Amino acid sequence: MCGRTACTLAPDEVSRACLYRNRTGRRRQPRWRDGDADKYKPSYNKSPQSQSPVLLSQRHFDKNAPADECVLASMRWGLVPAWFRENDPNKMQYSTSNCRSENMLSKKSYKGPMIKGQRCVILADGFYEWKRQDKEKQPFFIYFPQSETVSEDKFKAQDNSEWTGWKLLTIAGLFDCWTPPSGGEPLYTYSVITVNASPNLQSIHHRMPAILDGEEEVRKWLDFGEVKSVDAMKLLQSKDILTFHPVSSLVNNSRNNSSDCVQPMDLNSKKEPKPTAGSKMMMSWLKSSTPTKRKEPETNEKNEESTKKLCKSPGALKQWLQGANKAPKSIYCIVRHEETGEIKQST
């Protein structure tokens, strides 16, 4: 399962962090689809129905574009199939935030997008997973191994040069485009593909997102013109390539959105954070980045007015990192998962 992620990069940083290679091996920097950079909001605590950065083939928007040319888009988490007939996407009775790789072709919601080549790559700093311990659940932050140090000058890299900041996870996904039957703007949504957990993650949870390892796997997954669905599905394997650390239960509430969500903690004391190479690199990067070029993560992505005020204040990112936000009351909803039929409570 994958029910919470983090993506704290600003739009221009996301573009630089996901350079890709086309069929000829040429390195390219994807641009944002018109207007989508403004829809995406950085966050330490993204939950389903939030907007996330997604990499996909430009041909999905322009039939004359090469299939191996990629573009960045902001899509809502939780796939709404094109055939859904209600005018309100929130009336979906099943959770489609995840789809199991082994069931994709037997589920109506995912079979169509897979056959049509509607494959995408979800980008994230990492994802959260909960390990059941007695009567409690301990959250963990899971991500690609990172370099130990980063110098401030490295963030001044030019277009198409090597990105030396936080290495983003590249997660395989499917997307669809839904238009309200009564008319209106089309809505692009996605689902995270999951596989059996890798050996080092099995103690936390039995499932994990399907990770695409390296530029070549990303290229093959996105190039639906050259790589057919049956071959693309071979990329969906458990990969023992991720690292993790325990984090605070602050992340349990999706309204909590600060760097405290990703800070490592010592499970023995549960007081003092225990830094790792990856966490040191993350905090070094956040502090050295230029605040004026970064978008401030929101406490609530739907509260646009308060976000504008926060971004206009001087030193907003610094204040965010140093301050501790009080956790508001939780809001719960009941959802039924399409794959398992399980009914559960979520925030």
Decide if 176 contacts 60 (C-beta within 8 A).
Answer: no
pLDDT at 328: 37
Tokens of 270: 């549960």
- pLDDT > 70 fraction of the chain, expressed in percent and rounded: 73
Decide if 226 contacts 20 (C-beta within 8 A).
Answer: no
> 209 pLDDT band (50/70/90 cuts)?
very high
Residue 255 has pLDDT above 50, yes or no: yes
Third-level CATH fold of 4-261: hypothetical protein yedk fold (3.90.1680)
Tokens of 55: 């990499």
CA atoms within 13 A on the CB side of 73: 22
Residue 156 has pLDDT above 90, yes or no: no
Residue 85 has pLDDT above 70, yes or no: yes
- pLDDT > 90 fraction of the chain, expressed in percent and rounded: 62
> 306 pLDDT band (50/70/90 cuts)?
very low
C-alpha dist (Å) from residue 207 to 58, 196, 198, 254 = 31, 5, 8, 21
Q: How many residues does the chain have?
A: 347
> 148 pLDDT band (50/70/90 cuts)?
low
Decide if 232 contacts 190 (C-beta within 8 A).
Answer: no
Token pair 């936000």 in the structure block, residue: 325
Identify which has the larger pLDDT, 320 or 7: 7
pLDDT at 297: 58
> 347 pLDDT band (50/70/90 cuts)?
very low
| Residues belonging to the active site | 2, 129
* pLDDT (mean) for 71-92: 94
pLDDT tens digits for 3-50?
A: 899 999 999 999 999 999 888 888 899 999 999 999 999 999 999 999
